[in-house]
Amino acid sequence: MSDLLSIVSRIVAFAVLLAVPAAALAADNEQPTASFRHDVRPILSNHCFACHGPDEAHREADLRLDVASDVDLQEIVDRITSDDPDVIMPPPDLNKPLKKDQVQVLTEWIDAGAAYQQHWAFVPVDDPSIPNVKSKTWSNQPIDQFVLSRLENLQLQPSSRADKRTLIRRLSLDLTGLPPTRESIHEFLNDESDKAYEHLVDRLLSQAAYGEHMARYWLDLVRFADTNGLHHDHYREMTPYRDWVIRSFNDNVPFDQFITDQLAGDLHIDPTNDQLIASGFNRLHLIIDRGTALPEESAFRNVVDRVAAVGTAFMGLTMQCAVCHDHKYDPITQRDFYQLSAFFNNFDGQPETGSRGTVEFKRGLQPPYLELPSEQQATQLKKLTADLAKLAPKVKAMQKRQVAAKKGFEKLGPAPEPKDDSVDGVLEDVSRTIAQQTLKSLNAAVKRLLQTQRQMQQRRDKLLLEIPATLVMKERADVRPTHIMIRGAYDQPGEEVQRDTPAFLPPMTSDSPQKTRMDLAHWFTSSQNPLTARVTVNRIWQRFFGVGLVRTSEDFGSQGESPSHPKLLDYLAMHFTQSGWNVKNLVRSIVLSETYRQTSHAQPKSFVDDPQNRLLARGSRFRLDAEVVRDQLLSVSGLLHSELYGKSVKPPQPAGLWKIVAMPSSFPSQFKPDSGQDIYRRSVYTFWKRGLPPPQMTVFDAPTRESCIARRERTNTPLQALLLMNEGQHFAAARHFAAQLLSDTTKSGTQQSGTQQSDTQRIVDAYESVTARLPTDQQTKILLGAVNQFRQVYQNDPELTEQMMPSDKQATDDGAEDEKVELAAWTMLVHSLLNLDTTKTRE
Amino acid sequence: MNSIEQMNQLQGRRQFLRDSAMGLGSAALASVVGSRHASAASVSEGLHFPAKAKRVIFLFMAGAPSQIDLFDYKPDLHKQFKKPLPPSVSMGQRVTAMTKGKEQIVAPSMFKFAQAGSNGLYMSELLPHLSGVVDDLCIVKSLHTDAINHDPGKTLICTGSEIPGKASLGSWLSYGLGRMNENLPDFIVLNSAYWSGDQANIQALYSRLWGSGFLPSKHQGVQFQPSGDPVLFLSNPAGVNQRSRRGMLDLVKSLNQEHLSEVGDPEIQTTIAQQEMAFRMQTSVPELTDLSQETAETLAMYGPEVEKSGSFARNCLLARRMVQRDVRFVQLFHRGWDHHRGLPDKLRGQTKDVDQPAAALIKDLKRNGLLDDTLVVFAGEFGRTAYCQGKLTHTDYGRDHHPRCFSMWMAGGGMKGGIEYGKTDEFSYNIAENPVHVRDLNATILHQLGVDHNRLSFPFLGLDQKLTGVEEAHVVKQILA
């Protein structure tokens, strides 16, 4: 056993050694010596700040290490190098011991005078000079110079350019989330001009699919979904917001405007519909339904959720950590949090959803919201509303007359028995008859009017259900006071605070006595703000390399990782704002770089040394997002229905999933799949129930959209393998594709010239459609062998073949037997191609 | 330890090193000890200290069962019938929006309690079968939580936080300890709501309750379905049999391998391995859910509901079959305990669902030698009030949510049996002795698996995230055997 232990400890030691180059990856190698910002501060933050950091209430020994202060430096050295468990820092029960090399970094820093610098992300964006590189042949683009400089420091070289087929698939998937068609591949291959690649980029950037694809990352970030996410998890309607995000990317709306309209679109003078729709950003939080939590608790929770979203989306900071106490690692005080929250604490609406059974509820709406009828719908609605308004008083008046008539009739009493034939008796009887007749006709009139009214209301409700609408933000007239909530408890208000931005960031300039969300938006998008542009370009970069220059794209604070290329990050941020926050421009410069165009093929060692490709010495290779996996399938099989915008759709999913989680009174409580073309729309339009999102998405790491997510994990699991093998749409698509493949070849008449010939052609066609590449001779040979094997399986098992046939081909006459075997065999072949690692991977 | 086991262990560790080098297991270095390929022997050594339990079955009673009517016997409460709850007891503490501002009138339990087991613990007449195994139960009467509503309450007990986005208990175990069975998921979720079915007030669940939060999604719970494929997308499509599936996978494998040699990315190797595991699951899962080999006597033990797919009884039997195959964590969610009105009737129904199968599970685990290292946990998200909600008669009443004290039990997995721990006041309203926070419960469960709750962490959003959160949590040492 002791032998084993020693082996294990050696292996552990080896693991630590392995970790060293990993740490070096994140360090700023543009600077040769260890820097406070990128080497020292992360250690202090992770190991010391919890007790000796910004949080005043929990500061031990009155010692703080997050800023320069009067400290006994020798004492620190003594404590971190001690063997005595009572003396050593960090204390053993913190479970965060310093490693040897970390102690060394700290000691060297102290020996050199313990100079402090502010955390890198909180200092203004620099306009760095472009580094001088030794190799002049690779590229003269600024992005490449920054990357190459780092590689040259490490004595590494960039990889060669990827081939054109790889590049067009990579670009198409990265820019539009869809694979290239065979036509576009050939067009690109045949374009031998110098500008071929550039033109391809421009073609892709101008496709509507670009906006759909770019929107997805924003929708994760702001947790867009189709249900409320709490308690009953009822339906909510905000799809116009989703469509606005798509349009904004396609129209290349300047990103500062994109941010401003979301934060404060409702505060423009005379806001446009788009600006109001955008302000719905403030309504995307989870919301509970009335009757369980206390309204004041829910209101507080909603505000915290709004501020957390602002923190993640625009600041890359965990603002919500300061709800209960000063932040442990970042200089965000509890006061900072509540001052910022004061901007979002003045919502003019209910904090919980309610009014079940109303049309509004069925539409997933809760005031304030914006109606977005088409012209025709508006006319219809106007007419119906006017008619109903006209009808209402008439109904009331008629009912009044009816009541009076009833009373009059009742007053006369029943006719006497036997009949009274006296004059008085006759007169009374006549009156009675008239009263009865009057009542009868009034009854009929009221009935008819009510019926008409009901019909009109039903027509109006039906129309309303069809009219698009979306939740928007609205400010109360008188500002609700905001307090610091003691320990973050909704019922423990402390000192009152005024709207302001965090003290450690540049101050907000505003002339208005009461600062508004509009002022806040301007503060976020001012050139003084160190975070907004950095956080934004990093997230966009992440889309094209699988990982950001700052890996922790959700956290730019003290505990986040340092950027791999800090100067490149600043360069991109600076030029992004200078270009007028031009997103397409930024994207274009990224994908035109040689860094982006490198091949992702490399020696296995390269993958082991730099698994996430932080050094950018090769092209990135990573699994496609859940949505792209599905959209690619629909696209290559010819099933994709590329309609833009509109209400969310429900492609089929296994039965009973919602039933397991929903309450019988949840709305909706049962999943009803859509039919027709709707089930083949892009995944960005798929209905997202937060309580149980579509498994086709979550199995491939899509988030639940319950909290703001800046970065998805990428896992590789057997459940994913099962999904690709057996999910209904996946297999149906393979069969659809195979059927097309067979009919295409039949049409071109090649079937006559021998099976072998057409088999090869079909294999090439299918392989190219799915992977954008041509099969090698060896691959073709393997695939030909496989087709014949599948043929055999299905020839020998007619029952199995029959089972695979689509319903319209089942139980047809015997003459079609061969055709069925062909369809089955080719379905299996296409199905195999769709399950390749390369198919689900962007290479 | 023989040399083959040593080899296996080493190989497991090498695998881990490869993973960490590939950036897959940015897991705490602590995970070295319990890598995902570790043999069962090494797992029993625990991650931070020796483990008493290797597996957990968590019977989650969603909706919050009434402790006063099931476990927390208050013989003198009948004297308080229809009297107001003394303010000295309620102390102006927060109540839900449903009973806010309303009178708090005491509703004693209408059910009889009797002593059971060698220590004479009081159990409700609604739990005759569990009374029979009470010598195996460790009943905690002083559990308390922060949340007063279902959604945050369930999210807190299952993920350690009221706010969505954190990792669930099972996913922490999957992350920290890894799998013991190569052919089945290591965290399985089974749902049921039988008696109350579609009519009553069954509260919602959310996939986050078994989600992986910030942990890689491969650690999330895999929901078994009561109908159709037990695991989503398990069955081959119509027209594909084992033979054509195998042919397809062989083809895919050879093309993937060729691609691997060309590209060099070891991730392709992982894809090949996961496709093979998917193929094995196509056999191992149906074998797991096939009850034809269970004896009539075993089936009878779980009661007649065991015949119905999706019943709590069926799920209990499946849970035994799962831990028998070394599935690490099985969580059953049984809904329908939210008894604001008409509690006696509904509670009879719920306990009829649960009592016999839960007791059978304990007996069945015991006779198979599994109870010693399998921890069974039975708990809801909070308790219910001593005061009445809705109509109050001697035989009809309802109870609102009550976070300040509730009862739960554990069995096996190194827990003392036949004991109760913690006391509440005479109204079962406040804790009188030995409070156990939900955090403490989670810390204790981790402890039994050999995990120190302070040391199992994952960096996310600037914090070393832990199941027990940022506040202190304590292992309840007094209840450990």
* pLDDT, tens only, A218-250: 999 999 999 999 989 999 999 999 999 999 999
Q: Write out pLDDT tens, residues B374-396.
A: 999 999 999 999 999 999 999 99
Indicate whether B475 belongs to any domain.
Answer: yes
| pLDDT > 90: percent of chain A | 70
* pLDDT top residue among A16 and A48: A48
Asked if A840 contacts A169 with a C-beta cutoff of 8 angstroms, the reply is no
Residue A398 domain flag: yes
Distances (CA, A) of A362 to A235, A366, A466: 8, 10, 11
* Segment 125-184 of chain B within 8 Å of chain A by CB: 148-151, 163-165
For the cut 90, the answer to whether the pLDDT of residue A36 exceeds it is no
Ordered DSSP codes for A249-295: HHTT--HHHHHHHHHHGGGSSS--HHHHHHGGGGG-S-BPBTTSS-H
A783 vs B contacts (CB less than 8 Å):
251
Q: A292 and B272 in contact by Cβ < 8 A? A: no
pLDDT in tens, A527-564: 999 999 999 999 999 999 999 999 999 999 988 889 99
Chain B residues with CB under 8 Å of A603 CB are: 264
- Inter-chain CB proximity A229 and B231 less than 8 Å: no
User: Which of A286, A783, A800 minimises the CB distance to B239?
Assistant: A800
* pLDDT grade for B200, boundaries at 50, 70 and 90: low
Backbone angles phi, psi at A622, to 5 degrees: -150, 155
pLDDT for A814 equals 54
A137 has pLDDT over 90? yes
- Closest approach of B357 to chain A, Cα-based (Å): 20
Give me the residue label for tokens 């809705």: B390
Whether B455 and A1 lie within 8 Å, measured CB to CB: no
Triad A38, A39, A42: Cα angle to 5°: 80
Among A719, A727, A776, A842, the residue to mutate for chain B (most B Cβ within 10 A) = A719
Q: Using the 3D structure, point to which of A117, A149, A174 is the last residue of a domain.
A: A117
Beta bridge partners of B84: B105
Question: Is the backbone peptide bond immediately before A368 cis, with ω within 30 degrees of 0?
Answer: yes
* The pair of three-digit structure tokens given for residue B455, joined into one six-digit string: 């040391």
Cα separation, B90 vs B429, in Å, equals: 7
Locate B72 and state its tokens. Answer: 């927390």
User: What pLDDT sits at residue A756?
Assistant: 59
Q: What is chain B's mean pLDDT, rounded?
A: 88
| Cβ pair A786, A794 in contact under 8 A | no
Q: What is the DSSP string of B268-291?
A: HHHHHHHHHHHHHHHHHHHHHH--
Residue B274 forms contact with A (CB below 8 Å): yes
Instruction: Specify whether the CB–CB gap between A268 and A524 falls below 8 A.
Output: no
Count of domains observed in chain A: 3
Residue A356 has pLDDT above 90, yes or no: no
pLDDT score of A12 more than 80: no
Classify residue B5 by burial, with Cβ atoms within 10 Å: 0-12, 13-18, 19+: middle
Q: Report the pLDDT value the prediction gives residue A6, as an integer from 0 to 100.
A: 38
For residue A398 the two structure tokens come to 């008629």
**Inside any domain, residue A832:** yes
Is the model's pLDDT at A28 over the cut of 60? no
Contact yes or no for A800 and B244 at CB 8 A: yes
CB A637 within 8 A of CB A645: no
Domain boundary pick from A117, A150, A173: A117
- CB atoms inside a 10 Å sphere around CB A498: 12
Identify whether B131 is part of a domain. Answer: yes
Minimal-distance CA residue of chain A relative to B12: A8
What is the number of CB-based contacts under 8 A between chain A and chain B?
279
Spatial distance between the Cα atoms of A279 and A257, rounded to a whole number of angstroms? 12
**Alpha carbon A90 to chain centroid distance?**
39
Give the three-state DSSP class for B375.
strand
Q: Looking at chain B, which residue has its C-alpha nearest residue A835?
A: B252
Exposed/middle/buried for residue A240 (C-beta within 10 Å: 0-12, 13-18, 19+): buried
What pLDDT is recorded for position B23?
28
Report the candidate in B136, B177, B192, B233 with the shortest Cα–Cα distance to residue B37.
B177
> Residue holding tokens 């009219």?
A467
The DSSP string of B163-209 is STTSPPHHHHHHHHH--S-TTS-SEEEEEE--SSTTTS-PPP--GGG
Give the residue on B whose Cα is nearest the Cα of A806.
B238
Whole-angstrom distance, CA of residue B328 vs CA of residue B187: 6
With residue A484 as reference, give the H or E element that holds it: strand A482-485
Q: In sequence order, what are the beta bridge partners of A371?
A: A469
Q: What does the pLDDT read at residue A254?
A: 98
Reading the block at residue A510, the tokens are 């505003």
- Residue A825 is assigned to a structural domain of this protein: yes
pLDDT band of A57, cuts 50, 70, 90: confident
**Is the CB of residue A739 less than 8 Å from the CB of residue A819?**
no
Contact indicator for B281, B231 with CB cutoff of 8 Å: yes
Q: Which residue has the tokens 């087929």?
A: A165
Contact A4 B6 (CB under 8 A): yes
Q: Looking at A435, A466, A497, which one is the last position of a domain? A: A466
> What are the residues facing B480 on neighbouring strands?
B415
B253 touching A, CB under 8 A?
Answer: no
Q: Is residue A685 part of a domain?
A: no
Of B185, B207, B251, the CB nearest to A704: B207
Beta strand pairing status for B406-412 and B374-380? Answer: antiparallel
Torsion of CA A738, A741, A743, A749, to 10 degrees: -150
d(CA B113, CA A596): 73
Q: Tell me the chain B residues in contact with residue A719 when contact means C-beta distances shorter than 8 Å.
A: 185, 222, 231-233, 278
Question: Is B164 buried (19+), middle (13-18) or exposed (0-12) by CB count in 10 A?
Answer: buried
Subunit contact A231:B208, Cβ cutoff 8 A: no
Show residues of chain A in contact with B29, CB under 8 Å.
12, 15
The CA distance from A633 to A770, in Å, is 8
Q: What's the domain range around A437?
A: 375-466
Domain count of the fold of chain B: 1
Identify whether the C-beta of residue B451 lies closer than 8 Å to the C-beta of residue B48: yes
- Per-residue pLDDT tens over the stretch B223-272: 898 888 999 999 999 999 999 999 999 999 999 999 999 999 989 998 99
Token representation of residue A457:
């209301």
Structural Rg of chain B based on CA atoms: 23
pLDDT (average), residues A637-645 = 97
Residue B351: CATH number of its domain: 3.40.720.10
Choose among A308, A310, A344: nearest CA to A323. Answer: A308
Q: How far apart are CA B200 and CA B135, in angstroms?
A: 34
pLDDT at A745: 55
Whether residue A418 has a cis bond before it, omega within 30° of 0: yes
Q: Is residue A395 exposed (0-12), middle (13-18) or buried (19+ Cβ within 10 Å)? A: middle
Q: Is residue B385 part of a domain?
A: yes
E strand residue ranges, A548-670: 622-623
Residue B15 lies in a domain: no
User: Are B427 and B121 a contacting pair, CB within 8 Å?
Assistant: no
Distances from the Cα of A72 to the Cα of A98, A104, A626, B397, B427, angstroms: 19, 18, 54, 67, 57
Q: How far is B263 from chain A (nearest CA, A)?
A: 4
Q: Which domain holds residue B138?
A: 53-227+309-479
Which of B244, B457, B468 is the best mutation test for A, with the most CBs of A within 10 A? B244
**Chain B nearest-CA residue for A561:** B462
In whole numbers, what is the pLDDT of chain A averaged over residues? 90
**What is the C-alpha separation between B457 and B439, in angstroms, rounded?**
15
A483 has pLDDT over 50: yes
Q: Which residue of B has its CA nearest to A779?
A: B255
Selecting from B24, B278, B462 the residue whose C-beta is nearest the C-beta of A318 gives: B462
**Cα B424 from Cα B434, distance rounded (Å):** 9
CA A747 to mean position of chain CA atoms: 43
Burial class (CB in 10 A: 0-12, 13-18, 19+), A74: exposed
Looking at residue B14, what is its pLDDT? 35
Per-residue pLDDT, A813: 58
Q: Which residues contact A761 (CB under 8 A, 6 or more apart)?
A: A745, A750
Enumerate residues 6+ apart whose C-beta is below 8 A from B400.
Answer: B95, B96, B98, B99, B340, B384, B385, B387, B389
Distance CA B359, CA B366 (A): 11
Name every chain B residue with its beta carbon within 8 A of the beta carbon of A840. Answer: 271
Whether the per-residue pLDDT at A749 is higher than 60: the answer is no
HSE-CB of A738 using CA atoms within 13 angstroms = 26
Residue A242 lies in a domain: no
Question: Is the pLDDT confidence value at A157 over 60?
Answer: yes
Residues in chain A: 843
Examine residue B464 and state whether it is found in any structural domain, yes or no: yes
Asked if pLDDT for residue B12 goes beyond 90, the answer is no
Q: How far apart are CA A412 and CA A429, in angstroms?
A: 9
- Judged by CB atoms closer than 8 Å, whether chains meet at B22 and A608 is answered as yes
pLDDT at B36: 34
Q: What is the DSSP string of A392-459?
A: HHHHHHHHHHHHHHHHHHHHH-SPPSS---SHHHHHHHHHHHHHHHHHHHHHHHHHHHHHHHHHHHHH
Are A721 and B274 an interchain contact pair (Cβ–Cβ within 8 Å)?
yes
Question: Most distant CA pair in chain A: distance in Å?
Answer: 128
State how far the Cα of B116 lies from the Cα of B126, in Å rounded to an integer: 13
Smallest CA–CA distance, residue B271 to chain A, in Å, is 7
Listed ranges A53-62, A199-208, B18-27, B204-213; the one with the highest mean pLDDT: A199-208
- Residue A17 scores a pLDDT above 60: no
Q: Give the ranges where A49-163 is alpha helix by DSSP (H).
A: 49-52, 73-81, 100-111, 142-153
Scanning the structure block, which residue is given the tokens 């040259």? Answer: A152
Give the mean model confidence (pLDDT) for residues A468-480: 96
